[in-house]
Amino acid sequence: MIKTAIFILLICLALTVAACVVTAPMPQQEAPSSSPPPSSPPPPSSSTPQPLLVIPEVPQSTEQIMRRYTWGYGGKKWTWELQIPQSLYEYYKGIPRLPTANYSVYITHPGDDTFIDYLVSDIERKARKEDYGELEKVEFATAFVQSLPYTSDSITTPYDEYPRYPIETLVDKGGDCEDTSILLASLVSRMGYGVVLIIYPGKHSAIGVSGGDGMNGTYFQYSGANYYYIETTDTGWRVGEIPEEYQDMKALLYDMTPTSILTHEWEARGEGTTVELEVTVENWGTAKADEVYIYAGFDAGDDKLWNSQGSETFLLAVDQRITIRFTLQVPLEKHTRLVIQIIDDGYAVDESYSEWFDT
């Protein structure tokens, strides 16, 4: 009885959420144990997927934010005066920042499509008037984005890293490299060009563009096409020109395919020799996830788990959450921790741990 009481206290103190990491799924097998096999716990139970606590549609209002931009291209000075719906800006400010390096989700979100299309139509109208070719049209849009001031997230926001949606960058009249890359990628992709985000992890962000006549210079090959590098954070850089410090550096490429972004939270409570675990999974991305399951157990080392359980596979649409409950049998006389993984299409896309504890 004393040992059980101590274990309950430890489990209550130790089961706290740790930072998420991405790994391959752990094998679903029991680790060797000298303890007698426990009785089978009940299978995981789930709730019906529910909408996330975000606004499902962008609210409409008559209030507008006025912004004026000036930039140079083709030997001319250009001026753009935009009226940006206040409600659209507040909507995107209210969306939590997503735990992913795939910033394409900030581009493929459909809430600003109408406004971005309006900007694109104006860019194309001006380009036709100037008789710009394909390359010049892309560089015209690029010159506009390059003219926006570079601002550091740690100075303009309470966060060290705060990727902005295109509307936010327009209203804030600037941002850092991922913000201007997101904005330019949004414009150029809606203009009909192939676009990839170019991410140098922890270093820099840019974009690559394909499909325009006359493009040359530095490019990345992706899915059978050449994507020419575009620098977005300073004026004067042309399509295909890359800063020297990034010429030999490896980069991650992300296309504009909508993708799911799954996150999770959990709570656990010790009940004698079992743990009652409740896991909530949320899809903050721009595509449904249709091969998702939760895998949980106690760390046995060497990528193995004691007394693991997996939920049934479920579908999670955009802006939905689901809660699944487990009853896990605690391995006795072990130094371990609780491990929770979210598996999508065979890959662990989100993972968390409790602190280590002794049973």
Does a structural domain hold residue 296? Answer: yes
Instruction: Please state, in angstroms and rounded to a whole number, the distance separating the CA atoms of residues 177 and 234.
Output: 9
63 vs 85: CA distance, rounded Å: 6
Examine the domain organization and report whether 208 and 352 are in the same domain. no
Q: Which two tokens stand for residue 246?
A: 């990034």
| Pairing mode, strands 194-200 and 252-255 | antiparallel
3-state secondary structure of 44: coil
Paired with 264 in beta bridges are 281
Which pLDDT tens digits describe the chain residue by residue (359 residues)? 333 333 333 344 344 333 333 333 333 334 443 333 344 556 677 666 665 544 334 455 579 999 999 999 999 999 999 999 999 999 999 888 888 889 999 999 999 999 999 999 999 999 999 999 999 999 999 999 999 998 876 566 656 678 999 999 999 999 999 999 999 999 999 999 999 999 999 899 999 999 767 899 999 999 999 999 999 999 999 999 999 999 999 999 999 999 999 999 999 998 889 999 999 999 989 999 999 999 999 999 999 999 999 999 999 998 899 999 999 999 999 999 999 999 999 999 999 999 999 99
Q: Give backbone dihedrals phi and psi of 127, rounded to 5 degrees, phi first.
A: -65, -40
- 58 in a structural domain: no
> Which residue(s) pair with 229 in the sheet?
208
Is the same domain home to 240 and 292? no
d(CA 73, CA 235): 10
In terms of residue numbers, what domain contains 210? 64-94+103-255
Residue where one domain finishes, among candidates 211, 236, 255: 255
Tell me the pTM. Answer: 0.76
Instruction: Return the SS3 of 221.
Output: strand
148 and 174, same domain (yes or no): yes
Residue 317 within a domain: yes
Question: Last residue of a domain, which of 240, 255, 270?
Answer: 255
Residue 180 near residue 145 (C-beta atoms within 8 A): yes
Q: What is the dihedral of CA 45, 51, 54, 58, to 10 degrees?
A: 160
Closest to 178 measured CA to CA, from 157, 192, 193, 21: 157
Give the CATH number for residue 20.
2.60.40.10
Q: Indicate whether 135 and 15 sit together in one domain.
A: no
